[in-house]
Amino acid sequence: MSTIEQDIPLKSIELKSDYVEVEGAILLELLEGVSSHSGKDKTMPTINAVHIESEGGLFKAKATDRYRLIEGTLLSVDGRLEPSLISLEDIKRTITLCKAHKDNRVQLSRIGNALTVSSLGDAITFTLLGGTYPPTEELLAKSESEPSAIDSIAFNPAYMADYAKIAGKGAAIKVYFTGAGKPMRVRITGDKITWRALLMPMRYLD
């Protein structure tokens, strides 16, 4: 099977301070959806993770397992956050906190390589990963080109279950084909989250 990206060597994180505030329920939806695409292999830490950042009022999170790539964007309430790489284990802890504070705002505060996630007195702090995330923006931009006419394409049907959960009960998704052997663009329509997703084709022997 082709892969989205290869792992990239680790780099150090510079000492900086950042803060952003997001509605709890929407952050929960975003992190649950994005983390479903994280790599599960802990020997590849930069993809066994979720990448987040916030700038200009937009909070973004993305993940890839090299066969799929997804990015979700929502409106932040306040602040900004430098690009930060969070292990999948710590993302699961963050999701648990968000579930307890769906009706509240959640704050994410970064000092150096430490990130604190808090809401109404509940807080968790963890160390960010020291890696540089694969450069995915070019892949996503290229997928926005005009769809291509192809005879057939093969893909892992198990991945569609994740798209169905992200889209919500009864909602449709739309798949655009960009050429033989190239990633398929998956369109998921959200109420408050803008999704961009790619799925790599598989080899199929008749």
Q: Is residue 6 part of a domain?
A: no
Going 183 to 48 to 121 to 100, the CA torsion angle's sign is positive
Predicted model pTM: 0.87
- 122 with 184, same domain? no
Residue 21 CA to residue 128 CA, distance in Å, equals 18
Q: Which of 127, 150, 181 is the last residue of a domain?
A: 127
- 34 with 112, same domain? yes
Percent of the chain with pLDDT strictly greater than 90: 63
Residue 63 CA to residue 35 CA, distance in Å, equals 6
Q: In this structure, what CATH number is given to the domain that contains residue 109?
A: 3.10.150.10
Residues sharing a CB contact under 8 Å with residue 158, sequence separation 6 or more, in sequence order? none
Answer whether residue 7 shows pLDDT above 60: no
- 146 with 185, same domain? yes
Q: Is residue 11 part of a domain?
A: no
Give the count of domains, the chain.
2
Q: Which of 127, 149, 170 is the last residue of a domain?
A: 127
Q: Please give the residue range of the domain that contains residue 116.
A: 17-127
The C-alpha R_g of the chain, in whole angstroms, comes to 17
Two structure tokens written together for 82: 């430098």
- 45 with 121, same domain? yes
Two structure tokens written together for 67: 């066969």
With cut-offs at 50, 70 and 90, classify the pLDDT of residue 150. Answer: confident
pLDDT tens sequence across 83-118: 999 999 999 999 999 999 999 999 999 999 999 999
Q: Is residue 195 part of a domain?
A: yes
Residues sharing a CB contact under 8 Å with residue 43, sequence separation 6 or more, in sequence order? none
pLDDT tens sequence across 41-70: 999 999 999 999 999 999 999 999 999 999
